[in-house]
Amino acid sequence: MLGGCGSGAQERTAAAAADLSPSASVYVAVPADGRFAGHVYPDSGRRLALLIARAYAPHISVVTTAAEAESEAASLASARGAGFTYLAVPRILRWEDRAGVWSGMADAAEVRIALIDTRSGDAADIAVIAGHDARDRVTAGEGAPEDLLARPLEAYAARVFAPAPAAADSAQPPR
């Protein structure tokens, strides 16, 4: 199983002044398929959207993936119309599915995820998440770029949808 190989990850986040509510609901848009060196990776956008939804599912009340790729405006309209709290807009920045044995190069994946507050249309969080093969060697060509993103996406979801800390007892008036 290659899912564990993506543990070497980078995450860069902007926004998210506070953790997002675990009681939220998220509509995950399907991005355009990944491309590299003139090659399009069919269905990679849909696979990424499903991977994101799977990472969010343990941390929020409701998560749904769009049926197909659509513009950000159309995705926002769909999310608003269905009453979702947030719209997750992923974008594939790097998607390289390499034949490691003969090319000597490992797979690579990097995605940008914007979490949009559906009421305001403003970004609640923007993150760039990258996965790479932590084994420091080229794989035998098995797996796919999304395998490198599973763990980093799970860690990101756990952090961004962390439950708010309980109110400190010191906030209570003295008796």
111 in a domain, yes or no?
A: yes
30 in a domain, yes or no?
A: yes
126 in a domain, yes or no?
A: yes
Tokens for 166?
Answer: 């309980």
- Per-residue pLDDT tens digits for 123-158: 999 999 998 765 544 444 456 788 899 999 999 999
103 in a domain, yes or no?
A: yes
Task: Write out the residue range of the structural domain in which residue 96 sits.
Answer: 3-162
170 in a domain, yes or no?
A: no
The number of distinct structural domains making up the chain is 1
173 in a domain, yes or no?
A: no
37 in a domain, yes or no?
A: yes
Average pLDDT over residues 82-88: 97
pTM, to two decimals: 0.80
- Per-residue pLDDT tens digits for 89-127: 999 999 987 665 555 667 789 999 999 999 999 999 999
Q: In what order do the strands lie in the sheet with 108-117?
A: 8-15, 123-132, 108-117, 86-96, 25-30, 62-69
Say how far apart CA 171 and CA 23 lie, in whole Å: 24
Predicted pLDDT of residue 58: 94
Q: Name the pLDDT band for 19 (thresholds 50, 70, 90).
A: low
- What is the CATH number for 69? 3.40.50.800
171 in a domain, yes or no?
A: no
Do β-strands 39-40 and 8-15 pair in parallel, antiparallel, or remain unpaired? unpaired
